[in-house]
Every structure is written in C-alpha cells, then in structure tokens.
Amino acid sequence: MKKKYLFSNKELPVLTSIIEAFPSKEIGSLESVAFVCVQHLLFTTLNLMDALLQLGACPDNIHVMGKPYSTCLQVANQLTEKGCHYYPNLPQKKVGDFSGCFVKDIKSMWHEVYNHLKKQKIKLVVILDDGGSCLANVPNYISKNYSLVGIEQTTSGLANIRMRQLSFPVIEVASSAAKQLVESPMIAEAVVNKLSKVLPMGQSKLSCGVIGLGAIGNVIIQKLLSLNHEVITFDKDPEKGQIFFKTLCTADIKTLFSKAEYVFGCTGEDITQNLRIEDINSNKTFISCSSQDKEFLTLLKIFEEHKCKYDNVLDHLECSFNDYSVKIYRGGFPINLDNSGESVAAHDIQLTRGLLLGGVLQGILYATHYSKQENKRYMLHPAIQSFVVGNWMNYGSTSLIPLHILEGFQDLAWVKRHSQGIEQENDLINQSFHYENSSIKAPLLMSNYG
C-alpha cells in the first residue's frame, strides 16, 4: 500500500502515476540513497520530495537548498518539520553578487552533507540540480568515496564549463524534448501573468524592448502587442524577429536601449555589457524574465558603484543617470519567481516535477546496474518523457502546446530526435513506463520502442 503524501495538501497525479509504474522491487530500498537537491522551493517541490519518500527514501537523507529570490519560507519550514535537511542561503550583501554568494552556500552545504554521509550507510548520492552549481562544486572527498549520479534541469547548468570535469554521469532533463517543447510555453505564460506588477496596465503605446526571442520572449511580445504597446526586438539571430510584423526588429542592441522605456531581458546572459550610461536618453525600467541576476549584471554593478540605496537585494532598484530615472525590477532577478511558492500553476508544473522524478529514477536504475563512474551525459529516457507528457495531458494546459508537438510524444523515435544526450538502453524503463489508459487525449504507443 502506498504511503500518503506527507507534505502537500494538493496531490499531483503525474507523480502518482510514476510512483505506481516504477519497478521498486528491482532496485531494493532507497534508504541507502542520499539526495542532495538545489531547487526553487515552491509548493510543488514538496510534492517531489513526497514522491521520493513514498518510494522509500529516508527524510534524514534528503538535503535541500533553495535560491533566495524564489524560496518560499513556508516550504522550507515544512521540509524541516518532516525531517529533511534544509540549508538556508546566507544574505547577499551587494546587488549583482548572486553567483559568488551562491557558490559559497553550495560549498558550505556540501561540507555539512559530508559530515552527515559519514554517519550513514550510503551507497549512492543523487544530485538534483538547477543551474549546475551543485554538480560543479562536488568536493573531491565526496566524488572519491561515493557513487554519484546527477540530474540537471537547466540548459545554463549543462553549459557550465566545470561540468565537463565531472567524474560521474548526469541525466540531461534540461535537453529533453518534453522540457524544451512542453514546459517552455508554460513558463512563458507565467512570466506574462506577472506583467501587471511592472507595467502601468491602464496606459497604451508604451515603448517596450524585448531582448531574446525564444519561447518566453515571443509570448511576451504577443502580450505587449495585445495591450497596444510599441515593441522593438533584438536577438542574436536577426531572422527570429521577422515573424512579428507589428514590431520593429533591430540588429543593433544599442538601438533598442535608446528607444525602449521598458526593457525585458529573456536571454539568460548579461545583455547590458554594451549599454553605455552616457547614452541614457529617457527613463527606463529593466525587467528580467530569465534566471538568477544575469540579464543586467553589468548594470547592477554600475548601480553598486553609484551607491544605489536599497535595504534588500530583491528591492526594486533606482538610480539617476543624465537626469533620467533608471530602474531595475526586483534587483534583476526573474519576475516570475517572487517567493510566493508558486510560479506556474500546480496542474501544469507537475510536468516538470514528473520529468525530474523520472530523471532521478533513471539515475538510480543506472547506478544500480552499472557501478562504473564516468563522465557521460545521458538523455532523459524517451519512454519516461512520453509517459510523463501522456499523463500530464489529462490535467495540464494543453492549449498552450501545438497539437503536433503533443502527438509527437506518441513516437519514441521522435522524442529521441528532439532530445540531447547519450541514449541509455534500459529494458526496465521500457517495460515499466508505458501508458494504457484509454482516457488519455493522445494514447501513447511505447511497446515498439527499442
């Protein structure tokens, strides 16, 4: 009989389906597995921890750290109350200094984790990461003494140059077709839903600039146009801006900075490296729609040099340049992560939680059957992706996803083509993760895989 959820008062059916499908008898008890997790601490993060506990993990072997710009303290308190180890972030004293402070937090956490591991009979350490910092900073004294497997959910984390030096395998949830093609529109929608906090919604014809025309940037453009605002766009690939005939597409980011009063950063990179303060010619507000404080890092450091006053690095920052007001919303951190405990609605973000749980289980199965530690990047198994998307389709906002994308997840060869990483053959996954419920909107056909 399955355990009841320990934390959450809202069940996520996708996670339940994974728990019920997973071949637990094939891997033995999870009591000897430690989990080191760096995650945005949202309410659905509790569901993910619940799922690990239901599968047999010990709360005392679960170590969790959040990020200060997204952590919901209620979530952190519940983790602690139930016996998990929660590691708070130390205060960040200066704006633009998130990365350095966070790495210090990670290293401190690993020291505490090691002290705990020495007291336990741990056979495997599973590292569930968001951003690559936890994986990239595993101490040698841990990697040499324990079997490790990593799960990374962000492309920026996979791009971390130090990830190339790892001595253990990583499951690439970030590069999976399901995360790239199904999750991205939902994140974009969540960002758009926060726009009312930063735009004077009663006005029209505001001059808005959108930098980075990926999934999030494109949805923001559509929303701004629907509100009758003027939009100028920039992307490293000039052709991306041509699909919006009502926007002004520029190949020069300096032109966008000159014309736009509201600047939306959607790149995950520092877009203000080429912004010259002496060229500021109007009031401007900068809004990040990506991760950490990367989008306006150069500008944040300029604010710091000009002794911008603030009580907290998450404050709305404002400085005067050339007699014009320049604002950075929420200290340059993303608009959709506001410590509220929710970014994307639970019925939608359970897709992401399901992919992460699937990645964790794939990693455990790998470690159970292959004792050799090697630096390889494995694709999130197509059968797991198909299973998760298929279950999610019964509950999620499928209207946000093109039909041909959803139908593609019926074909595991298609899923493989749209994912990255080394394909890992695993008969247990093939046998376990197949969907037979006729109520699904697009039945999955997995039996012919492999």
Model confidence pLDDT, tens digit, residues 63-112:
999 999 999 999 999 999 999 999 999 999 999 999 999 999 999 999 99
Share of the chain above pLDDT 70, in %: 93
Per-residue CA distances from 239 to 4, 242, 243, 251 (Å): 51, 5, 8, 10
Mean pLDDT on 439-447: 37
What is the reported pLDDT for 141?
94
Cα end-to-end span (Å), the chain: 32
pLDDT confidence band for 347 (50 / 70 / 90)? very high
Distance CA 305, CA 347 (A): 44
Q: Is 437 a residue whose pLDDT tops 70?
A: no
Mean pLDDT on 263-292: 93
pLDDT confidence band for 435 (50 / 70 / 90)? low
Mean pLDDT on 317-327: 96
Q: Is 286 a residue whose pLDDT tops 70?
A: yes
Q: Among 128-142, 176-190, 195-209, 322-336, where is mean pLDDT lowest?
A: 195-209
Q: Among 113-127, 188-202, 310-324, where is mean pLDDT lowest?
A: 188-202
What is the reported pLDDT for 370?
73
What is the reported pLDDT for 328?
97
Which residues, at least 6 apart from 129, have a Cβ–Cβ distance to it below 8 Å?
37, 38, 135, 150, 151, 152, 153, 157
Q: Where are the domains of the chain?
A: 13-182+341-432, 195-332
Mean pLDDT on 226-245: 85
Q: Is 293 a residue whose pLDDT tops 80?
A: yes
Structural domain 195-332, CATH architecture: 3-Layer(aba) Sandwich (3.40)
pLDDT confidence band for 446 (50 / 70 / 90)? very low
Q: Is 244 a residue whose pLDDT tops 80?
A: no
Pairing of strands 85-87, 62-65: parallel
Mean pLDDT on 132-143: 96
Mean pLDDT on 7-35: 85
Per-residue CA distances from 102 to 38, 89, 298 (Å): 11, 7, 18
What is the reported pLDDT for 444?
38
Same fold, 13-182+341-432 and 195-332: yes
Per-residue CA distances from 33 to 84, 236, 361, 412 (Å): 14, 44, 11, 30
- Report domain 13-182+341-432's class: alpha beta
What is the reported pLDDT for 8?
55
What integer best gives the mean pLDDT of the chain?
Answer: 90
pLDDT confidence band for 450 (50 / 70 / 90)? very low
Task: Encode burial over 245-272: b for 16+ CB neighbours within 10 A, e otherwise.
Answer: eebbbbeebeebbbbbebbbbbbbebbb
Model confidence pLDDT, tens digit, residues 379-419:
999 999 999 999 999 999 999 999 999 999 999 999 999 99
Q: Are 63 and 87 in contact (CB under 8 A)?
A: yes
What is the reported pLDDT for 440?
39
pTM value is: 0.91
Q: How many CA atoms lie within 13 A of 223 on its CB side?
A: 20
Q: Is 61 a residue whose pLDDT tops 50?
A: yes
